Amino acid sequence: MNALLIFLVRLILGLVFGIILTRLFRPDWEIYYGVVTGLILVGLAYGMAFFRKKKPE
């Protein structure tokens, strides 16, 4: 899979899980907070992938 496809899958799944988490724990919040939560999840996924890669010594 190329990088664009991986990004799109992470983006879609991040947004879906962000909205679900927001609806479970804060049902009074707007949908925008779920989208922001999903974008944070996607950012964390890329951050963790960056730190997981082994750097040459």
pTM attached to this predicted model: 0.79
Q: How many residues does the chain have?
A: 57
Alpha-carbon distance of 16 to 12, in angstroms, equals 6
- Residue-wise pLDDT for 2-57, tens only, equals 989 989 999 999 999 999 999 999 999 899 999 999 999 999 988 988 888 766 66
3-state helix, strand, coil in the chain (%, to 5): 80, 0, 20
For the chain, report the end-to-end CA distance as a whole number of angstroms: 28
